[in-house]
Amino acid sequence: MKLTISDQAAKWYIDELELQEGSHLRFYVRYGGYSSVQSGFSLGIMQEEPENAAAVSTINKINFYVEEKDIWYFDGHDLHITFNENLTEPEFHYEKSA
The pLDDT value recorded for residue 37 is 86
Q: Between the CA of residue 62 and those of 42, 59, 67, what are the distances in Å?
A: 22, 5, 16
Q: Assess whether pLDDT exceeds 80 at residue 83.
A: yes
DSSP-derived secondary structure letter, 3? E
Average pLDDT for 74-84: 95
Query: Tell me: the pLDDT tens digits for 54-73?
Result: 999 999 999 999 999 999 99
pLDDT digits 0-9 by tens, 13-65: 999 999 999 999 999 999 988 888 888 899 999 999 999 999 999 999 999 99
- Looking up residue 11, the CATH number of its domain turns out to be 2.60.300.12
How many domains is the chain partitioned into structurally? Answer: 1
Give me the domain span that covers residue 43.
3-96
CB under 8 Å to 30, separation ≥6 — which residues?
41, 42, 43, 44
